[in-house]
Structure 1
Amino acid sequence: MTVTPSSEVTRRPSPASRASSDPLAEMLRLFGARGSVGTRTDAGGEWGLWLDTFPGAALHLITDGSAWLEVPRQPRRRLQAGDAVLLPPGTAHGLSSGDGIRMGSCDRAAASRARERGSVVRLGSGSVTTRFITVHYGSDPALSQAPVSMPVGVMHLTAGCNRALGVTAGLLCEELSHPRTGTTAAVNSLVDLLLVQFVRAARSDAASAHSASSWPATVTDPVVRDALTLIHRRPDKAWTTAGLASAVRVSRATLSRRFPAALGLSPGAYLTRWRMDAAAVRLRDTDDPIDVVAETVGYGSPHAFRRAFHRSRGQSPSHYRSSSRAAAR
């Protein structure tokens, strides 16, 4: 957590902070984070798997044995039983049994069949020495700034700091091994729980401190959290950096420094993006007229809204409405 120097304005509890009783749940809800069904993999002998086609963030949990993680232009990492690693969306990477192993591409059809049957994906030809679970996380496609797209690097948690992750992984393995009534609901809940537990551990793990600009920072910094809460609740309000700072009871300089440090965007730039995201969701999910959508996200002029939306999404609001609904069918 960033410590405010004594020369800056002293913070007092604000209405936004009092209302946000569970900021992590609020962030995940607002950003529409979604986990896909996990895949279990058993590996033995010499084996290697290269993953580069899935657009979402990938979380790997080593439940038994060990594996090597390779990411282009980064040092190789050894993952031991109980370790977990979260990679930003679109990160090409590989898991293998050792150095110099030829890696095969991921057979997504085989992975899908294994999940349906409650079986595992098998890698290598030797006896099983390594087992791991892979979960992918995406977000609402209407949103341009989901939390799982914000990590700027690999987040690696070691076995010593994530006991709860191991417990959840065991429950997930049990559900995936023995599909039955309610398995789908249980698995959906467990993969979401994995993400929550990962964030909890990452907040206190020194290994994740290299990434100051990452989505856990939006939860750990109360100034940023309160500012986001206000923006999300009132995107129609004509927020300025000074006005937002006053509302969360810090100085303008404090907000101007800490907001970009957590999110990589100024408050004004974030407000514009969030307005466009909120508008995109409303266009897709409601039949509200364009001028009503414009007003709900802070645009008194429908013409100004159409220009801003076109700059953001590359198409008019009406075209976006029809195309997003067609894609959802």
Structure 2
Amino acid sequence: MDVLSDVITVLRIGQPRSARVAWHAPWAQQFVSVPGSAGFQIVLEGPCWLIAPDTGPVPLAAGDIVFRPHGRGHLLADSPSTPPGAPACDPDDPQLQRYATDVVGASADTGVPATVILCGAYRLDPARAHPLLNDLPELIHLPAHLGRHPELRATVSLLATELEHRRLGTDAVVPALLDILLMHILRAWLDRNPTPETAATGWAAALNDPVTTAALQAIHRDPARPWTVATLAAEAGLSRAPFARRFATLLGQPPLTYLTWWRMTTAARLLRQSDTSVSAIAGRVGYTSEFAFANAFKRQYGIAPGRYRRSS
């Protein structure tokens, strides 16, 4: 798998949840702060405002997408002056456990224009969070622009249709579309961020840098290979020392440190989600000795692989 696909796999646990909701003015919906989650709202119809402690009031229009990757609370409302009155929403709210169309606030026959929002949440595992997540800002706002991010817009359209008109297969289609939506949101954020020549450091710069990306792709494609700084530099097309400096400058850690972290993260996922033997997992992440693997895993997680599996 490529780096971004692996990030999605590592980030999310459980089933993502989504609902299509319509509000009639005046309305204000509080979304509570939920550590270990990430949430999004997509405006399908009508205007609204996003109000959060870490940002000023943000006007939203039809087609706008907002993503809160760190689970911070915020308010959506028809106006910044409308006090919150709706029940708080969190990822475990029944409203997000069913795929439904709800009308909240005044009745639909008042003639007051509705604001229709596609909202959803992803459960994350803080113990396995990829460092890319830490680099994401508190708020990713993708304003609607005609012809911009066509794949993202197409996914939104498919998801909205599936939620509005439940059919056979919806329970399989919606989670898949939510994963695709998260992928396209991250792609859009990466695409609009600066290149390494104009940025300082971080994953946005690294994934827009062909040299660093080539090394990361090699690690993710084959974590079991006995990589050295020299062999990773060869994959990246640089000599050893310039490559090591470039990697560490952008990502804040040496190449082999990231390699070890990714191997242990992969091993932890296999221990949790499969019945593969510990010795086989050791081989899949580059260890010929189960003893050496167990020691490396314990240094990373503070617990032996077998106990980690039982506790999970």
Give the TM-score normalised by structure 1. 0.74
Does residue 39 in structure 1 map to residue 22 in structure 2?
A: no
Q: 1:173 is matched with which residue?
A: 160
**Gap change, CA 1:52 and 1:289, over 3 Å in 2:** same
Measured after TM superposition, the shift of residue 291 of structure 1 is 3.9
1:109 aligned to which of 93, 100, 107: 93
1:305 aligned to which of 293, 299, 311: 293
Counterparts of 1:175-324 in structure 2 under 5 Å? Answer: 175-205=162-192, 217=205, 219-260=207-248, 263-324=251-312
Does residue 62 in structure 1 map to residue 43 in structure 2?
A: yes
> Is the 8 Å Cα contact of residues 57 and 149 (structure 1) preserved in structure 2?
no
SS for the counterpart of 1:274 is helix
CA deviation map 1:7-58 (0-9, x unaligned): xxxxxxxxxxxxx8xx577445664657723221222214132231262222
Does residue 156 in structure 1 map to residue 141 in structure 2?
A: yes
SS for the counterpart of 1:120 is strand
Measured after TM superposition, the shift of residue 185 of structure 1 is 2.7
| Distance in 1 of aligned mates of 2:212 and 2:222 | 15
Q: CA RMSD in A?
A: 3.6
> Is the 8 Å Cα contact of residues 6 and 220 (structure 2) preserved in structure 1?
no
> Is the 8 Å Cα contact of residues 39 and 111 (structure 1) preserved in structure 2?
yes
**Gap change, CA 1:51 and 1:186, over 3 Å in 2:** same
| Distance in 1 of aligned mates of 2:274 and 2:130 | 21
> Is the 8 Å Cα contact of residues 155 and 207 (structure 1) preserved in structure 2?
no
**Gap change, CA 1:29 and 1:250, over 3 Å in 2:** same
CA deviation map 1:65-85 (0-9, x unaligned): 222223333333222221112
Q: 1:132 is matched with which residue?
A: 117
Q: 1:9 is matched with which residue?
A: none
SS for the counterpart of 2:54 is coil
Where does the alignment leave 5 or more consecutive residues of structure 1 unmatched? Answer: 1-19, 325-329
CA deviation map 1:133-152 (0-9, x unaligned): 11223467884427556524
> Is the 8 Å Cα contact of residues 41 and 121 (structure 1) preserved in structure 2?
yes
Percent pairwise identity? 33
**Gap change, CA 1:46 and 1:316, over 3 Å in 2:** same
Measured after TM superposition, the shift of residue 318 of structure 1 is 0.8
CA deviation map 1:259-297 (0-9, x unaligned): 356544432221121111121123234444434433432
**Gap change, CA 1:102 and 1:50, over 3 Å in 2:** farther
Letter in 2 for 1:154: L
**Gap change, CA 1:289 and 1:182, over 3 Å in 2:** closer
> Is the 8 Å Cα contact of residues 62 and 130 (structure 1) preserved in structure 2?
yes
CA deviation map 1:192-215 (0-9, x unaligned): 332333234334336999987665
Give the TM-score normalised by structure 2. 0.78
Does residue 80 in structure 1 map to residue 61 in structure 2?
A: yes
Letter in 2 for 1:42: A
Where does the alignment leave 5 or more consecutive residues of structure 2 unmatched? Answer: none
Measured after TM superposition, the shift of residue 106 of structure 1 is 1.1
Q: 2:102 is matched with which residue?
A: 120
**Gap change, CA 1:164 and 1:304, over 3 Å in 2:** closer
Q: 1:52 is matched with which residue?
A: 33
- Which range moves more in the overlay, 169-178 or 200-209? 200-209
Counterparts of 1:90-105 in structure 2 under 5 Å? Answer: 90-103=71-84, 104-105=87-88
- Which range moves more in the overlay, 235-244 or 222-231? 235-244
SS for the counterpart of 1:180 is coil
CA deviation map 1:103-153 (0-9, x unaligned): 35216434146x34x322625778343221112234678844275565244
**Gap change, CA 1:99 and 1:184, over 3 Å in 2:** same
**Gap change, CA 1:295 and 1:165, over 3 Å in 2:** closer
**Gap change, CA 1:250 and 1:218, over 3 Å in 2:** same
- Which range moves more in the overlay, 305-314 or 26-35? 26-35
